[in-house]
């Protein structure tokens, strides 16, 4: 994928790359491991997105 038209396109790419996983029963995506979760938290905290960090379920927490 080279172009993204919707937010679902981005989530689909992140799931296929392994950065996110999808739970079909709960119909939600989540961060699957501590390494990725840590990098996500670092990026969000330095970019002024701390509130976003708290809304995304992390499997590693």
Is 36 among the domain residues?
Answer: yes
| 34: in domain | yes
Looking at the domain assignment, is residue 38 inside a domain? yes
Query: Residue 50 falls within a domain, yes or no?
Result: yes
pTM of this prediction exceeds 0.75: no
Number of domains into which the chain is organized? 1
Q: Is residue 60 part of a domain?
A: no
Q: What is the DSSP string of 1-61?
A: -----SHHHHHHHHHHHTS-EEETTTTEEEB-SHHHHHHHHHHHHHTT-HHHHHHS-BTT-
Q: Which residue range is the domain that position 19 belongs to?
A: 7-55
pLDDT 10s digit of each residue in the chain, 61 long?
578 888 888 888 888 998 899 899 998 888 888 888 888 878 777 776 666 666 666 654 4
């Amino acid at each position: 994928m080279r172009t993204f038209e919707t937010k679902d396109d981005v989530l689909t790419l992140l799931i296929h790359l392994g950065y996110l996983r999808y739970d079909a029963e709960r119909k939600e995506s989540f961060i699957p491991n501590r390494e990725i979760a840590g990098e996500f938290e670092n990026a969000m905290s330095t970019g002024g997105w701390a509130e976003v960090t708290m809304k995304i379920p992390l499997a590693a927490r």
